[in-house]
Each structure stands twice: as C-alpha cells, then as structure tokens.
C-alpha cells in the first residue's frame, strides 16, 4: 500500500479532517493506496500558500525558473520506473505506455524551461512622436489546475510546465480516482528546488475541492481537462470572478479513409488510435468512415489486426491493452454497443468481456468493431470513451466530410489519403482543433493542441501554451523634452 499526502506550502500533509480513501487497481480491484480526502478548507490553505509565494516567483528570472524546471525533468526521468508503475497500477494502461506518458511529462518541463525565456514583449510604433508604447506579458497569478484520470501525469505536466515558466504559482487537483502518479510527478517538480508554495497539490472530490478552486477568488486562472459537462460548470462558476480559463473537453473524432489511401497504414494507425488506453483518450478514433471502393478490404484487415491485440494486466510486458478504468466506463461502453445493435449495427469482433480466470476481477473488455453504423447511434454521436470502433461506408468525399462534421465536438479529425488536393480540401473543411493527415495523432510539442465547438477552447503546447498563463500589459510613455 502507498500512503499518499497532499503537498501544501512545500510540506507533505494529510487532510485537515484526517479523512482518507482507498484507490484500487482496475486490473484486479486490489487496494493499492490510501489517499487523503481534502475539503474546501484544505484548498484554501493551498491557495493562500500559492498566493504568498506568487510575488517572489513572478520576479524570479526566467533563467532561474528554467533551471528548476530542467531539474524537475531530470528527477522525473530518474524516477520514471516508480511513477510509471503507479500509473499502471491506478489507471490500467500497460507499463510501456505509462513510461511514454511519464517521459512526455518530463519533456513538458524541459520545453517550457526554455520557452519561458522567450516571453518577449513588443516595442510598438505609436500614433504620436511624443509617446512610446511597450507591451509586456506578465504571469496571471495563482493557477488552479484540474485534471482527469486517463492521462493524469501528461495532462498535469503540460499545464504545470507553462504555468511555472510564466511565473504563476499552482494549486493542482488531480482526479480523485487516479491521483498517485500525478502527485509523484508534482513531488519531483517540488524537489527540484521550487520554493515552498509554488507547487501545491490537493486531493478530494471535484464537487468540493474542484469547486473551491473554481469559486475561490484567489485563483486567477483555471486550466481544466475533463468532461464537457464539467467544463460548462467551471465556465459558469469561474465567470463570477471573470477568471481566465482554458478547457480541454470531450471529443468524438472521425477517421476518414479515402479510396486512394495506403490501406495497411490506415489500418494500423486506426487500430492504435481507436483502442490504445482502451479508447479512453480524448483524441481517440470514435467513428470510422471508409470509401465504398476499399471498405471490404479495410474492414477485414482492421478486424484481423484488432483480434491480435493482447489484453491483460498492464504490468505484464507483453500486453497491448490493459483493463478499462472502472466499471462505470465498461458499463457505458456496453450500453453504447447495445444501443448500436438495436439500431442495426453488427459486431465484427469483441462486444463482450474476455473469457478466462485472469480477467474475472478486473474491468476488462474486448476491443470491438461494429459495422453498419449510422448517425442515430450513440456511438456515433456521444463520447463512448471505450474500445469501440464503429465503421460506416461513404460514396463521396463531401458525404464523408458532412458526416465527420455532424457532431457537437471538435477536438481531432483524421484523414488517410495519398492525394494532396484531397488532403488539403478535407483538412480545410474538417471542424476540429487538430487534423491528422496520414497520421493518428495531432499532438506535437511545438504546435498548439486545442479544440473547437463543445471540445473546449484555449491551447496547450508550444508558445500558445505559455500565453494561457500570461496577462498582456501596455505601458505608454509620454516624452518630455
Ligand atoms: P471529469 O470532468 O469528471 O473530471 C475531471 C476533473 O474535474 C477531475 O479532477 C474531477 O474531480 C474534477 N471535477 C469534477 N467536477 C468538478 C467541479 N464541479 N468543479 C471542479 N472540478 C471538478 O472527467 P474525467 O475524469 O471523467 O475524464 C474523462 C474526460 O476527460 C473525457 O470526457 C475526456 O474526453 C476528457 N479529456 C479531454 C482531453 C482533452 O485534451 N480535450 C484529454 C483527456 C481527457 P474528481 O476526479 O473528483 O471527479
């Protein structure tokens, strides 16, 4: 058993009430850790600590902040085995993928250690020769960071990195369902020489701890990743204090395969993006549209490749897929499949839990391919957040684009084609913050990651990520001669 603490003002502490809860391993439901349950008063302590630490941190040079972030990255890499193991134990993803996530979190710190030094201002031309105008960017203040359970380390790191580089102090609330690896990451950043109060971590429910972070006027910025409904609630309540917010919310990403695509590449990319982390990824492939001419070949290869995926406990080095995160996720997946079957879909593989003693106690589910999908089905309209890939055929590219855009979400969209004109035509018309052409990810360190429509707004990564934590100030000088 691990005994987790909160990190407030540089100290590892229990909750004021002394309450704690137990985290279980989704592969076998064994208890793995005890975690303090914070309340509003714990959050206030953390916010006050962050507020006290802010002026000095804001005035620390970007060089020095960069040195601390680089040291944080070094410590995260040094502790990768321990952090990744915690991640697999609490979230279920295979250890190899957990290590990739932890590495990515170290990269976030290294990247923003340098990007913080490029927080340039502008000396702008003025209307009069008697005045001069300087534009500078300064840290917003205390940033509240609220993150979900599916990529708890990565999603925290790509907020903490830019926030600290910008000169903000931070109070982070990881998901109460998967707080272990995120806290170990934050601890490494704290151990890197970050002054007390600059990085704080509180544990507890979204309804209480998360709500206090949003409602308390001390936090001037809310950086949130999670469900669209939660994002809407945060937006409404942050409005009371006109806080800056960035929201990375749910997705419902289409994957279009054109008749001229390299079918094998499309199949492999699609299998990985539909099923990795059991489909519990915001940019997961949720809907597949295949050109009629190649649909039979694509579908048959897609199913063959899907059934090859090895499923099991994420600590087993040979598995491709771990368990789902919890019973609620598995149930939602089953409900969406049942709804689709009731509306004419056919199961080509999967559709149920795997058989065998080793799967009995975990939240396992077979990756599932559905044919004959249509847009009346919940799998085609809502975010399943599970290992289900529904396939629909199309006749013309415009039909495919219309279907792809027939969603309230706008996070990612993918298209596979070997024709440049088709690629550009489609990429310009797909309604999403990130478009993958012949690739299955829209994440790139030096490019913005963000969303359209109900998937949110604001950006992470690149210099765009840093801007989210900065205020703009215009300083106007009158010249006296
Ligand atoms: P939730 O929205 O349920 O929770 C996210 C975080 O918000 C958790 O820490 C949660 O706390 C907290 N929270 C819940 N209610 C409130 C509230 N009223 N005020 C403040 N904080 C609150 O999302 P999930 O954890 O279920 O994560 C899955 C979702 O995240 C999916 O919709 C997925 O698409 C989305 N996501 C989006 C990404 C993107 O980049 N667009 C990336 C990854 C995931 P608690 O844990 O206690 O409930």
pLDDT digits (tens, 9 = 90+) for 288-312: 999 999 999 999 999 999 999 999 9
Q: What is the pTM of this model?
A: 0.98
147: in domain: yes
Q: How far is the C-alpha of 224 from the C-alpha of 110, rounded, in Å?
A: 22
Q: What is the pLDDT of residues 171-186, one digit of tens each?
A: 999 999 999 999 999 9
109: in domain: yes
DSSP letters for 33-85: EEEE---HHHHHHHHHHHHHHHHHHHHS-HHHHHHHHHHHHHHHHHTHHHHHH
Check whether 422 has a pLDDT greater than 90: yes
Residues 187 and 44 both lie in one domain: yes
Domain at 15, CATH number:
3.40.605.10
Ligand 1: centre distance to CA 280 (Å) = 12
Tokens of 281: 């990824």
- Say whether 334 sits in a helix, a strand or coil: helix
Residues 13 and 86 both lie in one domain: yes
What DSSP state is assigned to residue 354? P
Nearest atom in ligand 1 to the alpha carbon of residue 148 is 25
Check whether 431 has a pLDDT greater than 90: yes
Q: Which of 261, 275, 259, 277 is nearest to 369 (CA)?
A: 275
Residues 390 and 290 both lie in one domain: yes
pLDDT number for residue 481: 78
pLDDT band at 4 (very low <50, low <70, confident <90, very high): very high
State the catalytic residue, choosing from 91, 248, 467, 468.
Answer: 248
Ligand 1: centre distance to CA 76 (Å) = 24
Q: How far is the C-alpha of 104 from the C-alpha of 261, rounded, in Å?
A: 30
Ligand 1: centre distance to CA 231 (Å) = 8
145-163 burial by CB neighbour count: b if 16+ within 10 A, else e? bbbbbbbbbbbbbbbbbbb
Check whether 265 has a pLDDT greater than 90: yes
Check whether 8 has a pLDDT greater than 90: yes
Tally the domains of the chain.
2
Residues 105 and 17 both lie in one domain: yes
Look up the domain containing 186 and give its range.
Answer: 2-249+455-475
Q: How far is the C-alpha of 211 from the C-alpha of 43, rounded, in Å?
A: 10
183: in domain: yes
With a 6 A CB cut-off, is 229 part of the ligand 1 pocket? no
Sheet order of strands, 31-36 included = 2-3, 31-36, 20-24
* Beta-bridge partner residues of 35: 21
pLDDT number for residue 18: 97
Residues 188 and 209 both lie in one domain: yes
481: in domain: no
Known active-site residue 248:
yes
Ligand 1: centre distance to CA 267 (Å) = 30
pLDDT number for residue 305: 98
Residues 175 and 269 both lie in one domain: no
With a 6 A CB cut-off, is 206 part of the ligand 1 pocket? yes
pLDDT number for residue 75: 98
244: in domain: yes
Tokens of 144: 């509240």
Residues 15 and 129 both lie in one domain: yes
pLDDT number for residue 462: 97
Q: What is the pLDDT of residues 451-465, one digit of tens each?
A: 999 999 999 999 999
335: in domain: yes
With a 6 A CB cut-off, is 433 part of the ligand 1 pocket? no
Ligand 1: centre distance to CA 219 (Å) = 18
- Say whether 87 sits in a helix, a strand or coil: helix
With a 6 A CB cut-off, is 210 part of the ligand 1 pocket? yes
Residues 129 and 85 both lie in one domain: yes
pLDDT band at 476 (very low <50, low <70, confident <90, very high): very high
With a 6 A CB cut-off, is 385 part of the ligand 1 pocket? yes
- Cβ atoms of residues 311 and 320 within 8 Å: yes
With a 6 A CB cut-off, is 383 part of the ligand 1 pocket? yes
278: in domain: yes
Q: What is the 3-state secondary structure (H, E, C) of 412-450?
A: EEEEECCCHHHHHHHHHHCCCCEEEECCCCCCCCCCCEE
Tokens of 190: 């704290």
Which of 144, 182, 230 is the pocket-test mutation for ligand 1 (most atoms within 8 Å of CB)? 230
- Say whether 258 sits in a helix, a strand or coil: coil
pLDDT band at 321 (very low <50, low <70, confident <90, very high): very high
State the catalytic residue, choosing from 71, 282, 467, 468.
Answer: 282
Residues 432 and 467 both lie in one domain: no
pLDDT band at 42 (very low <50, low <70, confident <90, very high): very high
With a 6 A CB cut-off, is 205 part of the ligand 1 pocket? yes
Known active-site residue 122:
no
Residues 274 and 238 both lie in one domain: no
Residues 123 and 104 both lie in one domain: yes
Tokens of 446: 């030096």
The total number of residues written for the chain in this structure: 481
Residues 244 and 154 both lie in one domain: yes
Tokens of 235: 């937006």
Domain at 438, CATH number:
3.40.309.10
Share of the chain above pLDDT 70, in %: 100
- Cβ atoms of residues 393 and 372 within 8 Å: no
pLDDT number for residue 390: 98
Tokens of 151: 């990529």
- Cβ atoms of residues 132 and 141 within 8 Å: no
With a 6 A CB cut-off, is 158 part of the ligand 1 pocket? no
């Amino acid at each position: 058993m691990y005994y987790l603490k909160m990190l407030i003002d540089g100290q590892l502490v229990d909750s004021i009430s002394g309450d704690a809860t137990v985290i279980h391993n989704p592969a076998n439901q064994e208890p793995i850790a005890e975690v303090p349950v914070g309340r509003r008063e714990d959050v206030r302590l953390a916010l006050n600590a962050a507020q006290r630490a802010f002026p000095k941190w804001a005035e620390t040079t970007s060089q020095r902040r960069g040195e601390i972030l680089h040291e944080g990255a070094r410590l995260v890499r040094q502790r990768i085995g321990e952090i990744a193991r915690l991640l697999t134990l609490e979230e279920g993803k295979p250890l190899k993928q957990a290590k990739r996530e932890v590495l990515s979190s170290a990269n976030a710190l290294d990247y923003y250690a340098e990007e913080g030094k490029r927080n340039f201002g502008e000396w702008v031309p003025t209307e009069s020769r008697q005045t001069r105008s300087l534009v500078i960017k300064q840290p917003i203040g205390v940033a509240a960071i609220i993150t979900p359970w599916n990529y708890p380390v990565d999603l925290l790191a790509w907020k903490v990195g830019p926030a600290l580089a910008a000169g903000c102090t931070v109070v982070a609330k990881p998901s109460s369902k998967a707080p272990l690896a995120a806290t170990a990451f934050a601890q490494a950043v704290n151990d890197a020489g970050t002054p007390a109060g600059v990085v704080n971590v509180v544990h507890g429910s979204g309804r209480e701890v998360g709500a206090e972070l949003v409602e308390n006027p001390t936090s001037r910025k809310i950086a949130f990743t999670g469900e669209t409904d939660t994002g809407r609630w945060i937006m409404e309540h942050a409005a009371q204090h006109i806080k800056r917010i960035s929201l990375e919310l749910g997705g419902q990403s289409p994957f279009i395969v054109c008749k001229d695509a390299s079918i094998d590449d499309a199949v492999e990319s699609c299998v990985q993006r539909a099923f990795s982390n059991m489909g519990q990824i915001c940019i997961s492939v949720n809907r597949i549209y295949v050109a009629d001419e190649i649909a039979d070949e694509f579908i048959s290869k897609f199913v063959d490749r899907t059934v090859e995926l090895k499923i099991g406990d994420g600590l087993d080095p040979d598995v491709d897929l771990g368990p789902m995160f919890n019973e609620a996720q598995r149930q939602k997946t089953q409900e969406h499949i049942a709804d689709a079957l009731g509306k004419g879909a056919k199961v080509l593989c999967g559709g149920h839990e795997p058989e065998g003693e080793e799967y009995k106690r975990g939240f396992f589910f077979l990756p599932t391919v559905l044919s004959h999908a249509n847009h009346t089905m919940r799998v085609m309209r809502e975010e399943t957040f599970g290992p289900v890939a529904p396939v629909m055929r199309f006749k013309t590219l415009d039909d495919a684009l219309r279907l792809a855009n027939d969603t309230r979400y706008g996070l990612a969209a993918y298209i596979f084609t070997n024709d440049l004109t088709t690629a550009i035509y489609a990429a310009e018309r797909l309604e999403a913050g990130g478009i993958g052409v012949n690739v299955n990810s829209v994440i790139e360190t030096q490019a913005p990651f963000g969303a359209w429509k109900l998937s949110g707004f604001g950006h992470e990564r690149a210099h765009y990520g840093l801007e989210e934590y900065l205020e703009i100030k215009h300083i106007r000088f009158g010249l006296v001669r």
